[in-house]
Chains A and B, each alone.
Chain A
Amino acid sequence: MFGFDIVGFMISWLTLFGIYSILAITLNVESGISGITNFGKVVFYGIGAYVSAMLTTYLILMLNGVNVSEIPPYNINGVILLGELGNKNPALNIGLFLLAIILSFIVAGAIGYLLTYPILRVGPEFVGFTLLSSGELTRIFLLHYEPVGASKGLMGIPNPFGWIPDSRIRQILYLMLVLGFLALTFITMKKLVNSPLGRTLKAVRDDETAALCMGKHVPKIKATVLFIGSGFSGIAGALLSYYFTSVNPNMFAPSVTFNAWAMIILGGFGNLVGSLLGAAIITLVDRALTFIIPLLGITVISPDYLRWLIVGLLLVIVLLVNPRGLLPEKPIETPASKEMKRETGEEGG
C-alpha cells in the first residue's frame, strides 16, 4: 500500500535519536563542559560497535559447535549459519547482548583513557587533530583487518530480540532498550556535571593554568572524563551494531564525529538537555529525508547530501540568532548552590 508508515518512522527516528543522543551527551561533557576538543568521538563509537559485533557473532557460532577457524562469521557461509543459529535461544541472545554492552564500555573506556597519554603530550591545541587522526587510523585498520571482515565488515549480528517473530514488537522492544540506555547515560552525566567534579571540569575548561594552580590534577581529570565519555560512546556503538545487525568500517567515518558536534552546537554547548534537543532535530532531518525522498520519487538528490545542507543551514541560522545554541549553558546545581539560592532569596524578599 502506498503511504507513510508513521509508526515505522517514529521507531526508526527515536532509535537513532537514542543512540546519537548518547554520543552527543558524552561529547558535550567532554568538549562542552571539560574543554577537551574531541574530534575522535567516532573511535570509541566504532570500537563499541566492533567489540559487540565480534563478541556476538564469534560466540554464537562457537557455542553452536561451529569451528570458526574454518567458517568464520565474516565468510558467506558464516553469515548464513548466523542467520540459522542466531535467533534460536532468547537467553543466549540477551546474555550476549549484556556481556557485549559491558565489554564495549570497558574496552572503549580503556582506549579513551590510554589515548589521553599522547594527548597530554601534544598540548591542548593539537588534541582535536590527534583524536581525529586516531579515528581515521582505526577505520583504516578495520578496513584491512581480516578477522573483523575487512571492508565487508560483519553481518548477521543477532539482535537481543531477534527471536521474536513479529518485527514491529521486536523494534519497539529494542527502542525501549535504547531509550533505557539513553536515560542511564543522561542521569549519569547529569550527576557528574552537577557535582564538585563538574565544577572542576568547567574550571579546567575556562582556565587550565589557574585550575592547575588550585591544585587540580588536570591530566587525571581529563583522563577520567575521557574514560567515562568513551565508555558510554562504546555502549552507543554496541546499540548501533545490534540495530543495523551489521557493521562495516565506513559507518565510522569522521562525519559521525562532526554530526555529534553539530548536535551539541545546535542544542547548546555545555547544556545536556540541549544535546538531546540537538540530537532530536538532526536525526529527525536525517530520518525524514530518508523516508520522504523515496516517496516523492526523486532520484536526483541523495538524502545524504541534502542532509548535510540542511544541517549546515540550521547551524548557521541558530548561531546567528543565538550563538550559544538553542539552550545555553546554565550554572551547575549542587547542594551548595541550592542553599545559596534559598539564602539570597530570603534576603531579597
Chain B
Amino acid sequence: MSTVLEVRDVAKYFGGIRALDGITLSVPEKGLIGLIGPNGSGKTTLFNVVTGFYVPDRGSVWFRDSGGTWRIDGLNPNEVFRKGIVRTFQTPRLFKSLTVLENLLLTPIGQKGEDITRVFYEKTWRDQELELARKAVKLLKTFNMLQYANLMASELSVAHMKMLETMRGLMTPATLYLLDEPAAGVDYPQARELFSYVKRLRNEQGLSFLIIEHRIEILMEFVDYVYVLHNGRLLCEGKPQEVVSDPRVIEAYIGV
C-alpha cells in the first residue's frame, strides 16, 4: 500500500525546548491512524509542521497524491490545504459571526462564488452553492445538528462547537484529514458516531486520517495503527492492542 503522508526525521525546537526531536512516521493510503501521547509530547506541533504553521528545523514532510509526490514542509497553510490536507483545531477555531451552515459552506475548495469576476453573476455559482448546501444538510443530519443550522457558531455548546470544527473539515474533499482531538468534550455516543462516520468515509471513499485523541478507549476501537509520542520523540508504534499493553506507554501516561 502506498503512503499518503511521510514525515522524515522532523525536528522543531523552541529555544531550548525540543518540541519535536526526530519524528519519522507515515500515513498509508486509506489509513486510519491514531496519534497519542501525554500532554506536551508534540502531537499538535507535528500537525502544525505538516500543515505549514511551522517550518521544521530539520527533516522533511512528503505528501503523495495521484499527481505525484510533493515536499510540503515550508509551504503556507493555504497551499498545504490546496494540496489536499485538511486539519481541524484542538480548540475550535470557528468563524463566530457566521452561522453553523455558513461555517460548513465556507471550507470547500474551488467555489465559483468566491471569484471576484463571477460573484456578481449569481447564475454562475448558484448551482454549486445549492449542491454544497445539500451536502452540509446531509452532514448536519448525520450528527443530529440540523436544528442548529441557522444559529451563530458562537451560540453553540462546547461539544457542538467541537463537532462543527470536525464537520467543517469533512465538508471539503481532501486526501488526508488531520483531526486534533475530535472527541474532546463530546459525549460518548456522539463521539462514537463521529468515529464510525470517519471509518465509513475511509472505507467508502478511500480517505486517510491521522487523529490525535486523548480518549484512548474510543480511539483504539476504530484505528488500525497507533503512534505514541513522548517528549518530542516516537516512543512506540503498532496495532492498538500492542500499544496499550506496552509498558513504556503505560509508564509515559501514568508517569512512574
Contacts and interface: CB of A to CB of B under 8 A. Distances in A.
B101 A206 contact: no
Interface of A, helix, strand, loop or mixed by DSSP = helix
B175 to A, nearest CB: 13
A82 B85 CA distance: 64
A344 B149 contact: yes
A342 B139 CA distance: 18
Contact of A343 (B81, B111, B126, B137): B137
Given A191-B120, A196-B114, A197-B116, A331 B102 contact: yes
B146 A344 contact: yes
Nearest to A198: B119
A212 interface: yes
Q: Chain A interface: which size bin?
A: 35 or more
B89 A196 contact: no
Contacts of A195: 113-114, 119, 122, 125
A334 B112 CA distance: 13
Contacts of A206: 94-98
Interface in A265-289: 270
Contacts of B107: 214-215
A335 B122 CA distance: 9
A340 interface: yes
Contacts of A214: 78, 81, 106-107, 168, 172
B44 to A, nearest CB: 13
Interface stretch (B4-12, B128-136, B219-227): B128-136
Nearest to B102: A199
Contacts of A298: none
Contact of A197 (B119, B130, B132, B152): B119
Given A202-B97, A203-B106, A210-B93, A334 B129 contact: yes
A121 interface: no
Contacts of B199: none
A217 B111 CA distance: 13
B76 to A, nearest CB: 7
B33 interface: no
Contacts of B132: 336
Given A196-B129, A199-B98, A343-B137, A209 B119 contact: no
Q: How extensive is the interface on chain B, given as a class?
A: 35 or more
B119 A216 contact: no
A202 B95 CA distance: 8
Contacts of A228: 116
B146 A336 contact: no
Nearest to B132: A336
A196 B125 contact: yes
A335 B130 contact: yes
B102 A213 contact: no
A199 B125 CA distance: 14
B66 interface: no
A331 B99 contact: yes
Nearest to B153: A206
Given A197-B116, A199-B106, A215-B109, A207 B137 contact: no
Interface in A82-125: none
A207 B95 CA distance: 6
A199 B137 CA distance: 18
A213 B93 CA distance: 10
B133 A340 contact: yes
A94 B114 CA distance: 36
A340 B116 CA distance: 25
Interface string B149-185: 1101000000000000000100010000000000000
Contacts of B77: 209, 212-213
Interface of A: 188, 191-192, 195-197, 199-200, 202-203, 205-207, 209-218, 224, 228, 270, 329, 331-332, 334-337, 339-341, 343-344, 347
Given A196-B111, A331-B98, 15 more contacts: A196-B114, A196-B129, A197-B115, A199-B106, A200-B114, A210-B95, A212-B76, A213-B77, A213-B78, A215-B107, A335-B129, A336-B136, A337-B101, A340-B101, A340-B150
